Amino acid sequence: MSIRDGEARASIAGSASDRGAERVRSGAASADITSMDVHQLQAALADGATSVEITQAYLDRIEATDGSFGAYLHVDPEAALARAAEIDAAGARGTGLNGVPIALKDVVVTEGVPTTSGSKILEGWKPPYDATVAARLKAAGTVLLGKTNMDEFAMGSSTENSAYGVTRNPWDPERIPGGSSGGSSAAVAGGLAPWAIGTDTGGSIRQPAAVTGLVGHKPTYGSVSRYGLIAFSSSLDQAGPMARTVLDAALLHEAIGGHDPLDSTSIDAPLPLLAECARRGADGDLSGVTVGVVRELGGDGHTDGYEQGVLDSFTAAVARLESMGAEVREVSCPAFDLALAAYYLIAPSEASSNLARFDGVRYGLRVGDDGSRDLDEVMALTREQGFGPEVKRRIILGTYALSSGYYEAYYGQAQKVRTLISRDFSAAFGTAEDQGVDVLVSPTTPTVAFPLGARLDDPLAMYAADLCTLPASLAGVPAISVPCGLSEGLPVGLQIMAPALADDRCYRVGAALEAALTADRGDRGFLDQLTLPPVQGAAA
Amino acid sequence: MSTLSRKDVSHLAHLARLAVTDEELDLFAGQLTAVLDAVAQVGKAAVEDVPPTTHAVPMTNVVRQDAARPCLPRDVVLAGAPAAEDGRFRVPRILGEEA
């Protein structure tokens, strides 16, 4: 079932009065717009293009093609165009992010705009406030295109756990777009948004970015506010950017990051200069940078479950980093072998507690309240009908891991393993006296996008998609995924991990790799290799 | 190897205020036993004297000025509730008929 706001399509724009609008109304020019990165859109806006015409181009493409991708849960063309017109009228476009459209994962609460977190239990709910991420993007002048599909409560690696249907990968519609931020990844890869916000608890930004050929960054834990993100696992959740280029990701990260008094875990420290590091990185000089290749993530003796094509792309990309002057060496992080086990105890435990708020009292669904049942029964029925199978599995697993008699053996032990993982990172990154590596790298995912349905009945196989992304989540360190090649025609991502608060290193090394591979291919960017369906009959 | 029986799953679901169907009990008991077997690997780690990490960022209590701030209007909040009455959330009965 779709909850898309449907019919008010785009011809209401009133934009015909703007001379620039006519210029880009033709399908070809519209395709131009939706294949631009945000840096180029900013230039177009500064050069006289209006936010209305840019927003219109995306809405046209959404209308024409999202029926087959399923990237969005909610699109309100009228509101988006009104907002774009407001930015145009204010005369602010061409500066900063004013007038640039964006999509938000549906886990981000948005005032007055339906927000479901991919769950039936929140169907139809309109939040009474904006998440800090949404508020900052609004204040920066961005235009909200819509809310994107996701695994229910961000639990999954394929977006197949959404209560509202699957999202398809624009590279191959029979394959998953990754998850849980799969609506955001499909939207950006499919030209349905220039960039998007995702959230990452164990890899939910990086893995979908990797399998759709995007850049996705999970910031240092605490550096982007969690206020207004519907909580899954509070000690792990972070929002971050998903974009076509490293520079775009850095621009978006700067727009949402920084201290927020409304989030008690928010770090009160200035963000490093991210966009500047991305620009500097694109110069391609990595001399003085030491790169550690994590043996436990696809290295010798740790290749079980990894596709050869992924490992080949990864190895070639690492050689490219070396050719730009980086010093490369292998690093061992033995506790990473236990990251999956620790994560799938800690995250479900926190989830079982966080999801207790969905009790059918303050918001969302209530089932069975016909006067014959008491509160407990209504609550249990509401949760039975409101939650999907993966959410139920994790609530039950978390309840078990936290229960008396099992707590120490499971949850307590997992927390200690978490300490060991952090220690492995610390040892790898070294200290002032004992020089370690500047960044750690690995494949982002063991495999390319797998076929829809392939892992749906096997939770453990689904969890294995997060193998490489979990250590950085557990340690709270930043990590970015950057496209590094194709295997069997499908994108492969390279993950770059850095010490806490050194997100700038991810952007610098990522931009260097991106620039080198773009030059090697001779195209404008990785997504140039993806052919998208044409937009026919765009609004005239 | 730990296993989760149908009875265990049913009990845990009850603790979590989650009604489950018979089909779900069958499905989850098998799936969760497999997951539990995998996550039990944390037991292999040598963790004597290793402190637990509850949070990746060192946590200290955060305080703010004790000053009143505007909050959401009552009607706005209640508008999202499944049932409201007299400016309050309306809930199903909590006590039995006799109470």
Q: How confident is the model at residue B97 (pLDDT cuts 50, 70, 90)?
A: low
Q: CB-CB: which of B8, B28, B45 is closest to A338?
A: B45
| A204 counts as catalytic | yes
Summarize the confidence of residues A367-395 as an average pLDDT.
96
Q: Which residues of B touch A356 (CB under 8 A)?
A: 16-17
Q: What is the pLDDT of residue B59?
A: 73
Nearest CA in chain B to A383: B18
Instruction: Pick the residue from chain A with its C-alpha nearest to B71.
Output: A129
Of A15, A117, A204, A473, which residue is the catalytic one? A204
Distances from the Cα of A160 to the Cαs of A41, A70, A454, A470, in angstroms? 32, 11, 10, 20
**Residue to test with chain A: of B8, B25, B27, B42, most A Cβ within 10 A:** B42
Provide the mean pLDDT of chain B: 91
- Contact present, A102 and A191 (Cβ < 8 Å): no
The C-alpha angle with vertex A35 and arms to A29 and A41, in degrees rounded to 5, equals: 80
- Asked if the Cβ–Cβ distance from A127 to B80 is below 8 Å, we say yes
Question: Tokens 């070294």 map to which residue?
Answer: A430
Is there a contact between A362 and B81 if contact means CB atoms under 8 Å apart?
A: yes
Q: Edge-to-edge, what's the strand order for the sheet holding A238-243?
A: A72-75, A143-148, A101-105, A195-200, A238-243, A215-218, A479-487, A490-497, A439-443, A290-294, A327-331
| 3-state SS, residue A75 | strand
User: At residue A11, does pLDDT exceed 50?
Assistant: no
Strands (E), A192-264: 195-200, 215-218, 238-243
Judge contact between B89 and B80, C-beta under 8 A: no
Identity of the residue numbered A474: L
Residues 6+ apart with CB under 8 A from A6: none
A384 contacts in chain B (CB < 8 Å): 18-21
Determine what percent of chain A is predicted with pLDDT higher than 70. Answer: 93
| End-to-end Cα distance, chain A | 30
Query: Residues A15, A35, A51, A105: which is the catalytic one?
Result: A105
pTM: 0.94
Side-chain-side CA neighbours of A467 within 13 Å: the count stands at 20
Q: How many domains does chain A have?
A: 1
Cα→Cα distances B69→A393, B53, B64, B72, B76, Å = 40, 34, 11, 10, 17
Find the mean pLDDT for residues B32-46. 95
Q: Is residue A332 part of a domain?
A: no
Could you say which of 1.10.8, 1.10.20, 1.10.3470, 2.60.120 is the CATH number of the domain covering B6-44? 1.10.20
C-alpha span between A193 and A393 (Å, rounded): 33
- Confidence band, pLDDT 50/70/90 cuts, at residue A15: very low
**A494-538 per-position pLDDT tens digit:** 999 999 999 999 999 999 999 999 999 999 999 999 999 888 654
Tell me which residue in A129, A410, A419 faces B53 most closely, judged by beta carbons: A419
In this complex, the residue of B8, B9, B16 whose CB is nearest that of residue A352 is: B16
**What would the pLDDT profile of A440-461 be if each residue is shown by its tens digit?**
999 999 999 999 999 999 999 9
Band the pLDDT of A31: cuts 50, 70, 90.
low
pLDDT-based confidence at residue B57 (cuts at 50, 70, 90): confident
Q: Which domain holds residue A101?
A: 15-278
Angle, CA A237 vertex, CA A231 and CA A240 arms, to 5°: 115
What long-range pairs does A424-427 form, CB within 8 A, spacing at least 24? A424/A333, A424/A334, A424/A335, A424/A336, A424/A471, A425/A333, A425/A471, A425/A472, A425/A475, A425/A477, A425/A497, A425/A499, A427/A333
Q: What is the pLDDT of residues A199-243, one digit of tens each?
A: 999 999 999 999 999 999 999 999 999 999 999 999 999 999 999
> Distance from B74 to chain A by nearest Cα, in Å?
11
DSSP one-letter code for A355: G
Cβ contact, residue pair A341, B36, below 8 Å: no
Can you give the CATH number for the domain in which A42 is found?
Answer: 3.90.1300.10
In tens, the pLDDT along A50-78 reads: 999 999 999 999 999 999 999 999 999 99
Q: Which helix (H) or strand (E) holds A67?
A: helix A51-69
**Coil, strand or helix: which one is A370?**
coil
> Would you tell me how many other CB atoms lie within 10 Å of the CB of residue A180?
34
The pLDDT value given to residue A23: 43
Question: Residue A492: how many CB atoms within 10 A of its CB?
Answer: 28
User: Cβ contact (<8 Å) for B92 and A410?
Assistant: no
Q: How far is B70 from chain A (nearest CA, A)?
A: 13
Q: Say what angle helices A339-354 and A413-429 make with each other, to 10 degrees.
A: 120
Name, in order, each residue with C-beta under 8 angstroms of A256's C-beta and a sequence gap of 6 or more.
A132, A133, A136, A137, A197, A224, A225, A239, A240, A241
The verdict on residue A319 lying in a domain is no
The DSSP call for residue A488 is T
Nearest CA distance, B29 vs chain A (angstrom): 9
Mean pLDDT value across chain A: 93
Q: How far is B97 from chain A (nearest CA, A)?
A: 10
Q: How many CB atoms lie within 10 A of CB A490?
A: 21
DSSP summary character for residue A257: B
Contacts of B62 in chain A (CB under 8 A): 264
Mean pLDDT of A143-148: 98
B45–A375: do the CB atoms touch at under 8 Å?
Answer: no
Strand partners, A496: A441, A480
Best CA proximity match to A339, nearest among A203, A181, A492, A178: A203
Which of the following is catalytic: A51, A180, A225, A233?
A180
Rounded-to-10 torsion of CA A394, A400, A406, A407:
60
What percentage of chain B carries pLDDT values higher than 70?
95
* Mean pLDDT score, A32-55: 96
Whole-angstrom Cα distance, residue A150 to residue A63? 19
User: How many percent of chain A have pLDDT more than 90?
Assistant: 90
Q: Concatenated DSSP letters for A16-54? A: GGSHHHHHT-SHHHHHHHHT--HHHHHHHHHTT--HHHH
